[in-house]
């Protein structure tokens, strides 16, 4: 009996030790539902589905399924679309309506195949997501005709970080432009970027700095002059797709088979962790990946103290102080984390305007007759349409560059946080976004509440603060 208890104690101790040394992960929340994936692409992409399935399993994601793969060497996406019916694998898969995620790897943009597949996929599954892989450039140069030429050998080891970013800059812009245009066409976020090329540059920067375990030169990532991926770059590609598909931080997942199979003792846990970190960094940094960063790993910087007279209109916890104005009565949501119709909710410290039918207006219970300065931050998904009511009249708050009306803003950050400032003096409001003028003569009543609108798409708000100005 004592021997049995001793063995059990050792087992419990070992479990505790393993738990203590396991790297911290941002995906310790319950595993999400598995996705059904189909992939179509070239040799810089079609190695990805195998490792992705392994990562999903290791992450505790059940029911992940790779429905199929269409592989054409050196292909543009339109070539997969134009395949004859007897050879085409992608179209029939999409027509079943079973594909949750379609991963594509164009070479250069625009590529009509992405447009065609997106339209077909949506016809059969309105909730489908189409992922476009932004890749590392063949031969390390941005040459759209590289397949028609005999390319000169490039000294990748001689590249600096600045050179790599400059070489890829125009290419990355073309990726984002087509993805933004497609989302605008379909009126919602359906196409997303998997920033593999950006992650590859981050990794090469680490190699240049000598801080990439097991990688001595940039050429260690490639098997030939064109740039086919060796095991570390293949693993990085899979981690980027895992992060975007499941919106989970891959840090903490075990070394995948693709790295183990290389039988390179230097490609170990340390390198694996770095690849995971860089994939997550690239995914959370890209505004079109659909992935948002988790809470900061280090303690957040303390907020500057609010100026005297500041009123926190949103407490970051619930909808206290807000409600619906229903004709002659006010339906308050004090202590509640969502409105009665669920168009507004509080999640992770944010006031979220959720998509739905029709327009709905959320108002403060309080009214503000004195002069004031109102500040808030908002983040809009592609083509989202919301609004800010100032004592009643509405200031449009939207994904401005796509939805308007202020399409010429230079400082607006698409799918990122932007600040609205409204200064009300008397019955006139002066409104700016990131310091750029929106309206300098907005007429408002002498008193009234502050409101938000739910119209189209998802909008997030935070730091909604009103400071009463001293009377003159």
- 11 lies in a domain? no
Q: Which token pair is 19?
A: 């738990």
10 occurs within a structural domain: no
**Residue 275 and residue 398 in one domain:** no
pLDDT of amino acid 18: 36
On whether residue 298 sits in a domain, the answer given is no
- Determine contact, residues 304/217, Cβ cutoff 8 Å: no
User: Coil, strand or helix: which one is 177?
Assistant: helix
Q: How far apart are CA 99 and CA 396, in angstroms?
A: 36
* Cβ neighbours for 352, distance < 8 A, ≥ 6 positions apart: 344, 345, 346, 458, 459, 460, 461
**Domain holding 341: CATH number?**
2.60.120.560
**Cα 350 to the chain's mean position, in Å?**
16
Which regions of 317-449 does DSSP assign to beta strands (E)?
322-326, 329-332, 344-347, 350-353, 360-364, 372-380, 385-390, 394-398, 418-425, 428-433, 436-443
Asked if residue 342 and residue 403 are part of one domain, the reply reads yes
Whether residues 247 and 355 share a domain: the answer is no
Note whether 169 and 249 are same-domain residues. yes
Same domain assignment for residues 132 and 218? yes
Q: Which residues of the chain are modeled with pLDDT < 70?
A: 1-29, 294-308, 472
Residue 196 shares a structural domain with residue 330: no
Q: Is residue 297 part of a domain?
A: no
* Any domain includes 13: no
Q: Provide the residue range defining the domain that includes 111.
A: 33-285
The CATH number given to whatever domain includes residue 113 is 3.40.50.1110
Note the pLDDT of residue 28: 52
Q: Give the tokens for residue 283.
A: 């995914």
pLDDT for 421: 96
What's the distance, Cα to Cα, between the start and end of the chain in Å? 85
- Note whether 252 and 24 are within 8 A (CB): yes
Return the number of other C-beta atoms located less than 10 Å from residue 131's C-beta.
22
- Domains of the chain: total: 2
pLDDT value for 15: 39
The answer for residues whose C-beta is within 8 angstroms of residue 245's C-beta and 6 or more apart is 35, 37, 52, 101, 129, 131
Q: Is the pTM of this model over 0.75?
A: no
CA pair distance 140, 165, nearest whole angstrom: 11
> 399 lies in a domain?
yes
């Amino acid at each position: 009996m004592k021997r049995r208890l001793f063995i059990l104690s050792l087992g419990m101790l070992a479990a505790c030790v393993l738990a203590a040394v396991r790297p911290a992960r941002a995906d310790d929340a319950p595993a999400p539902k598995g996705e059904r994936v189909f992939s179509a692409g070239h040799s810089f992409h079609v190695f990805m589905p195998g490792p992705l399935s392994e990562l999903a399993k290791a992450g505790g994601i059940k029911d992940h399924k790779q429905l199929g793969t269409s592989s054409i060497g050196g292909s543009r996406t339109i070539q997969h679309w134009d395949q004859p019916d007897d050879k085409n694998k992608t179209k029939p898969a999409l027509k079943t309506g079973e594909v949750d995620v379609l991963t594509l790897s164009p070479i250069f943009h625009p590529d009509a195949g992405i447009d065609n597949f997106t339209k077909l996929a949506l016809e059969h599954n309105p909730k489908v997501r189409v992922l476009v892989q932004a890749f590392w450039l063949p031969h390390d140069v941005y040459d759209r005709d590289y397949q028609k030429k005999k390319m000169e050998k490039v000294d990748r080891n001689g590249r600096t970080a600045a050179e790599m970013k400059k070489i890829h800059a125009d290419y990355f812009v073309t990726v984002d432009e087509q993805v933004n245009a497609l989302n605008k066409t379909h009126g919602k976020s359906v196409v997303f970027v998997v920033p593999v090329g950006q992650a590859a540059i981050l990794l090469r920067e680490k190699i240049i700095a000598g801080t990439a375990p097991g990688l001595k030169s940039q050429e260690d990532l490639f098997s030939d002059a064109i740039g086919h991926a060796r095991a570390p770059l293949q693993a990085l590609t899979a981690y980027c797709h895992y992060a975007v598909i499941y919106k989970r931080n891959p840090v903490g997942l075990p070394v995948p088979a693709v790295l183990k199979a290389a039988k390179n003792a230097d490609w170990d846990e340390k390198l694996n962790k770095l690849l995971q970190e860089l994939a997550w960094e690239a995914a959370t940094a890209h505004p079109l990946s659909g992935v948002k960063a988790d809470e900061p790993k280090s303690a957040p910087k303390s907020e500057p103290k609010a100026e005297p007279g500041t009123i926190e209109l949103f407490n970051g916890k619930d909808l206290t102080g807000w409600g619906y104005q229903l004709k002659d009565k006010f339906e308050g949501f004090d202590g509640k984390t969502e409105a009665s119709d669920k168009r507004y909710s509080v999640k992770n410290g944010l006031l979220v305007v959720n998509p739905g039918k029709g327009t709905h207006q959320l108002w403060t219970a309080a009214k503000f007759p004195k002069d004031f300065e109102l500040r808030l931050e908002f983040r809009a998904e592609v083509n989202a349409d919301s609004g800010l009511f100032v004592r009643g009249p509405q200031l449009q708050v939207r994904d401005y560059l796509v939805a308007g009306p202020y399409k010429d803003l230079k400082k607006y950050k698409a799918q990122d946080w932007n600040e609205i400032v409204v200064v009300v003096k008397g019955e006139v409001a002066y409104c700016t976004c990131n310091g750029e003028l929106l309206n300098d003569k907005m007429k408002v009543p002498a008193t009234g509440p502050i409101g938000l609108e739910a119209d189209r798409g998802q909008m997030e708000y935070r730091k909604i603060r009103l400071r009463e100005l001293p009377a003159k």
